[in-house]
A and B are shown apart, each in its own frame.
Chain A
Amino acid sequence: DQQVKQNSPSLSVQEGRISILNCDYTNSMFDYFLWYKKYPAEGPTFLISISSIKDKNEDGRFTVFLNKSAKHLSLHIVPSQPGDSAVYFCAASGRGGSQGNLIFGKGTKLSVKP
């Protein structure tokens, strides 16, 4: 069973507009969430994270929102740029990450069109 779900395999957005990537999780023990970006033939690159004590974390053009009651998080990218085109993975961990392993979703492929 998938504990972290990214239900949209792909998303296409116009340059300059907002990209919203969604992620749902089932395990209420998760308390730390991360987003990674992956280009072809490269490893995932850490983007932004949020702990369960917060509902929002912002870093430049990237904002992550966490809704614990809905077990849902989202990544907002605004404004979107063509260089943001990549696969985005949502990941979760328990005990603040001290549990060791990250549980990843299957990813959402974002295409930003000029």
Chain B
Amino acid sequence: DTGVSQDPRHKITKRGQNVTFRCDPISEHNRLYWYRQTLGQGPEFLTYFQNEAQLEKSRLLSDRFSAERPKGSFSTLEIQRTEQGDSAMYLCASSLAGLFYNEQFFGPGTRLTVL
């Protein structure tokens, strides 16, 4: 399968714990995005990378959130000191920059539940 993959698919944690999610994009894609989706809402943009560089961060990305893409391939999203409000589906997407029209392809998501 050559699509976007995310791990884990589900994570249950207690409030105050740290969690880390991984995303592996489509191999030839140089852009990688993180979104968050809560019930009844569409995906909300968090941040994106072009190769290793983090080019944009949403105001939704508080200082408890950090994302990395160290070698321009996979990415990790870490949430420190989780809160119940962090419970959501975390989606990763990738695309090929350089084309004018930028279709993003999504992974299956990681569902986070904070107890």
Residue interface mask B42-66, A partner, CB < 8 A = 1 = 1111001000000110100000000
Residues of chain A touching chain B, judged by Cβ–Cβ distance below 8 Å, are 4, 32, 34, 36, 41-46, 49, 51, 89, 91, 93, 96-98, 100-107
- In the complex formed, the residue of A with least CB distance to B100 is A96
Measured between beta carbons, the chain A residues less than 8 angstroms from B33 are 100-102
How many residues in B have their beta carbons less than 8 Å from beta carbons of A?
28
Our count of residue pairs bridging A and B at CB distance below 8 angstroms stands at 69
Residues of chain B touching chain A, judged by Cβ–Cβ distance below 8 Å, are 4, 6, 31, 33, 40-45, 48, 55-56, 58, 91, 93, 95, 97, 100-109
B108 touches A103 (CB 8 A): no
Measured between beta carbons, the chain B residues less than 8 angstroms from A96 are 100-102
Shortest Cβ gap from A86 to chain B (Å): 14
Measured between beta carbons, the chain A residues less than 8 angstroms from B101 are 32, 49, 51, 96-97
